[in-house]
């Protein structure tokens, strides 16, 4: 049996290792997933994680476990993915300044014919930020590969005033939920006799 993470995210790799998964393969989906319009943030991340898992599962055997995830930030019914430019990163951080937003991560676990897809939602509150602080943070480069233009596990922690829910979800992988999903496909990380 192989465990396969369908993601190139270093944060997801780190979190999977923290969960006690010592050996796993990295095999990201080959294509950029496009979702149908009109999905809610939770529906969007579930759809995208399921698509990633489906694409990768075809490359492995029925006993292998595939784990896929997708994370977005949502504020005022607007979904914020990863910024494509410095300008977009500044706009996103300005929008998040001094208010709360939701971080959604969809997770799909596949093994054999079974596939489970769920999501986690965490509320994050930013302190009020000055334009100079936003500019300085964007200049670090950290926001450029992160949903919502920040990484809570890095310098982005200096922006966060409070959090309600799963901290690891904000990093991109809700580990408690994932652990329960893995048990459903026969992998109990707390009892690996």
The CA distance from 188 to 22, in Å, is 14
Angle at 178 between CA 176 and CA 183, to 5 degrees: 100
Do the beta carbons of residue 74 and residue 42 sit within 8 Å?
Answer: no
Closest CA to 53 of 18, 7, 11, 20: 7
**For residues 149 and 155, is the Cβ–Cβ distance under 8 A?**
no
* Both tokens assigned to 12: 């997801």
**C-beta separation of 188 from 180 below 8 A:** no
Given the residues 31, 42, 64, 70, the one annotated as active site:
70
Please confirm, yes or no, whether 166 is among the known catalytic residues. Answer: no
Q: Catalytic residue positions?
A: 70
């Amino acid at each position: 049996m192989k465990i396969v993470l369908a993601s190139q995210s270093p944060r997801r790799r780190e979190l999977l290792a923290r969960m006690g998964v010592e050996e796993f393969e990295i095999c990201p989906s080959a294509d950029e997933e496009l979702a149908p319009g009109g999905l809610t943030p939770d529906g969007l991340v579930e759809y995208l994680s399921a698509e990633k898992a489906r694409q990768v599962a075809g490359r492995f055997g029925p006993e292998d476990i595939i784990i896929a995830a997708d994370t977005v930030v949502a504020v005022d019914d607007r979904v914020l993915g990863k910024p494509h430019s410095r300008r977009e990163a500044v706009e996103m951080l300005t929008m998040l300044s001094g208010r709360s937003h939701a971080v959604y991560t969809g997770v799909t676990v596949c093994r054999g014919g079974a596939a489970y897809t769920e999501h986690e939602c965490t509320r994050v509150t930013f302190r009020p930020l000055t334009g100079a602080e936003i500019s300085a943070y964007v200049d670090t480069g950290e926001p450029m590969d992160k949903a919502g233009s920040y990484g809570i596990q890095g310098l982005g922690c200096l922006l966060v005033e409070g959090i309600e829910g799963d901290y690891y979800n904000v990093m991109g992988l809700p580990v408690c939920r994932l652990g329960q999903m893995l048990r459903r496909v026969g992998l109990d990380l707390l009892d690996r006799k």
